[in-house]
Structure 1
Amino acid sequence: MLTIFFVCYFFKSNREIVYVDTVKLFDGFMMTKEMKRAGEKEFNSRKSILDNLYSNLQSPTITASEKKELMQQFIQGKEELEQFNQTFASEQTTKIWSRIKSYTTEFSKDKNYQLVIGADNRQTVLFADEKIDVTNDLLTYLNKKYEGL
């Protein structure tokens, strides 16, 4: 009887501890894809302006003073583009992980999971049975929640 209790407890407790591939989860989340598209659109818009400035700088018909002014605009635009990339990526990643964490809490409560371990392509988890990988289930849940379903 005691053995049956331990076997049942073992299987029950194992199911309460699961893991997810955080890279797959982050990349597959619809919010990530939307933010990436928005960031790329803004990046391309800013880059287009820089490309035009660079093109104007290469023109043989501009004066030295015009070239100096364009060069300052180009340098400032390039710095702003680099700052945008860093800031946008950082801010959006923070927002996305905040949403993932919130949805994962709800998901865990719905599934009665006591612990959800995140693994970056399993680098931090030395071994995990595929049976406890709930990445796809959580990703489906996240995307449905995000879409309001």
Structure 2
Amino acid sequence: MNKIIFPIAIIALIAGVASFFSFQSSNELVYVDVNKLLEGYKRTKVEQESFKKKTDVIKSNVDSLVTNWQSELKKYEKEQAGMSTKERELKKELLTNKQQQINNYQQAVQKHIQEEDQKMTQTVVNDINGYIKEYGKNHGYPIIFGAGGNGNIMYAEDASDLTKEVLEGLNTQYEGE
């Protein structure tokens, strides 16, 4: 799930970062490394830990349902010899229906997890974009590019890299200092 959302978030972040213009006059072209911002931003880690705890609980619930169903199936397999044909058919149908319900629940849970991951990622991206916009305005940059390793910025001098300063300020703002 993160494999899909992370690249989408990076593209959105790069597009957002690249679109921030200021009316102040400065000819200096600067950039930030989007990947480093996402990885180094303290809120990213906090949100990911919270998300992991939530998903672990949900996955545990699904695992309990599957384990319960497997126990019922084993019990059925042991007892089916002593059942009438009608009882076997009914029990088999009940187990099949239960399995389908568990499968449907697993799909719904997976969809919910993906939606929550998207919300969490978007929250972090919005924080970063908002901070970079203010940072650019406050420091007189007409544009701040976002480098994400996917060809947007192929080369830039290290002196043009604002990633460290932006990340420090972003984390300071997040921590409320």
TM-score range, shorter chain: 0.7 to 0.9
Match of 1:104 in 2: 132
Match of 1:61 in 2: 75
Deviations 1:4-47 (A, max 9, x none): xxxxxxxx73xx32111111111211221122112111111111
Q: CA deviation at 1:82?
A: 1.3
Match of 2:152 in 1: 124
Unaligned runs of 5+ in 2: 1-25, 77-90
Match of 2:170 among 131, 139, 142: 142
2:46, 2:57 → 1: CA distance? 17
2:117, 2:96 → 1: CA distance? 32
Match of 1:32 in 2: 44
Match of 1:88 in 2: 116
Q: CA deviation at 1:111?
A: 2.4
Paired residue type of 1:101:
N
Q: CA deviation at 1:119?
A: 1.0
Q: CA deviation at 1:142?
A: 0.6
Match of 1:74 among 102, 105, 112: 102
Q: CA deviation at 1:122?
A: 6.0
1:122, 1:128 → 2: CA distance? 14
Paired residue type of 1:27:
E
Q: Kindly indicate whether residue 46 of structure 2 is the aligned counterpart of residue 45 of structure 1.
A: no
Q: CA deviation at 1:87?
A: 0.7
2:54, 2:108 → 1: CA distance? 12
1:49, 1:68 → 2: CA distance? 20
2:140, 2:150 → 1: CA distance? 23
Count of residues in Structure 1 that have an aligned counterpart in Structure 2: 136
Deviations 1:46-100 (A, max 9, x none): 1101111121222212553552353134213211221122211222222221111
- Do the aligned residues in 2 keep the contact of 1:23 with 1:120 (CA within 8 Å)? yes
State the TM-score, normalizing by the size of structure 1.
0.80
State the TM-score, normalizing by the size of structure 2.
0.69
Unaligned runs of 5+ in 1: 1-11
1:65, 1:48 → 2: CA distance? 26
